[in-house]
Structure 1
Amino acid sequence: MTVDNRPQTCSVGSNTCAAGYWCHFGANQDTTVCCPGRVQGQAICQQHLAIGSGNAALPRWYYDAASMRCEEMTCKEFIYNGRKGNQNNFLTLEDCERSCDVYVNVCPEGSPLIDQATNRPVPCTFGSDSCGEGYWCHLGLVPDEYQCCPGEPTVPGACQGLPEEPGELGAPAPPATRYYYDQEEMTCKEFIYNGRKGNQNNFLTLEDCERTCDVFVNPCNQPIPLPPTMCSAAGPSTCGPSSYCHIGATPETTNCKKNVCTKNNLEGDPCSLPLSRGNGNAFLDRWYYNQQSASCQPFTYAGLQGNQNNFLTREACEERCGPNPCFEGRPFLGVDGRPQTCSVSASLNTCPANYWCHIGADMSTTVCCPGGSFHRNLKFYSNDCLLELQHPLIFVTY
């Protein structure tokens, strides 16, 4: 009260009320007066909605504290009757939001982690540990909706079979492209996220998804069923009769999941397949069978999506792609890279020094084999048997 025993008036722009009083904004100057029982700070926002009494119909805003237990903490509009209200009574939405901590709860379950200093959700970013134990970072469409939600962290939660979840609309931004991990197919896929709720299986980029979850890169040149069947060079028989073991790299330089069983019934004879260096970043020493030279030759394999004409050693290649007609060593290779054929002649050795002419079933196996001088020990083959003659062969003429 003033000195003349009249109510102390006040104004919107400044608080001219004495300590313990607050400025009540009425319908006119007569009801815009200082009222007792002032509260301060966030205590104002915790006051209940009071529509008051009287005949006025004033559009006002109040902070809905009850919404903390629901989906969002927000300011709402109401009609004020002009008298007997409380301080949770704002002329504009902006006034309400400046005075009270307004935020949207975007979490699918529970409430976001709150910063006690600001009474607002703790902001977070993907890949950081800003949320701490028991929370995961919800990646909203706007910065204010990057919130720490209760639940298992994104790693490993996102990679353990959570479904694609488009979430709910309501964010102040259009839906956006995101990526989720498909556990059944062991790959990352694109989807459209609406902005709120959702779950941990939600990545901003394909790269984030692939770095976080165990993405399977098919090393084969054909689709294979998932999950892949593991195998190794030591035990390729685990693949069964209709598959073969693709060896991606050595154990020291590759993930064992690169060694998987792959269908081979569409490729045919490995020895008739062309050279395939494959794809990838590996540099693996391998051998393949060259049909033109009828020999196994080395090549560098890139690690992925080659074919069956791919052997760890020359011996493995030779064992698979035809017998070696020589008793010891390998046939002499001519300038064209092919085994050098020779003439069936008892008087002329057409092979180079320290090689002799193996007489096979046809020209492809009639080749120069290592084994010393023709004049030292003559060697002849009869089927699979080797006969060595330690004495000179005598030719008799009639």
Structure 2
Amino acid sequence: MLVNIIFMLLFEALTPMLTEDVCSQKADHGGCRSILVRWYFNNENNKCERFIFGGCKGNKNNFVSEDLCQSHCLPQLRTAVDLCNQPKVTGPCRGYFKRFWHNNDTRKCEEFVYGGCEQNENNFEMAEECVKRCDAIGVEYRIQKLSKRSDAVSICELPAEKGPCVNFTSRFFFNSKTKRCEKFAFGGCTGNDNNFKSFAECRKVCIGNEESTRKPLSTCKLPKRTGRCRARHKRFYFNSETLSCQQFVYGGCSGNANNFKTIETCERLCASQKHKSVS
């Protein structure tokens, strides 16, 4: 009985470490020559990304669907996000220590005075440390949490903001005047939400939202595509023959854009085609 208890305690202690090791491994295509679409967790941008797996060898950071990758690796990201959502705590002591915390309302790392005792985890000695832990997560987390197009539009209309720090890195912002994602020099701290690590990320949030509402017809005319993978995700597609949104089972990879998580999204984006055909 004692041996079983010790084994269970060791397993619980080691499981987070094993999960962390899996999700921090690089994409490994393996040694064989098959062409299999798989997903791996990119530890640099906190995203599950597609890659081609050869069919043998490789490593454990290899999932048959994006959902499996996210369920395995993103809980770590959510834990970090919870840390960055904690309130500012100055504490009851009367010391005077300059610290930084992540303000979830402004989405920025801000300076505050810490009294010296009874702190929480949202307490950093340097602005750069706060930015590295919270702002880097924030960019990807915002994309996952954008549920309304108006939220994305407000972000994409913000001006480029380099911030007060001088640790300059190349970032991208959406220029609402030129309607393009453009490069700018970011100082490394504060700034605003119109700040993306890559050109593709900028397009995904800002241009992708415009295209999804401006050009729904081509998407809605695409055929139903279940994909080659074997997951079973409930999705909806617009049937251009019956002019209605219908449920189907999506395998998890190699689909197309006529693939919606809810029937409401499908009907909202494809309603214009339905009304045009009826009239």
Which one has the bigger helix percentage?
Answer: 2
Answer 1 or 2: higher relative contact order, Cα 8 Å, separation at least 6.
2
TM-score where L is the length of structure 1: 0.23
Structure number with greater Rg is 1
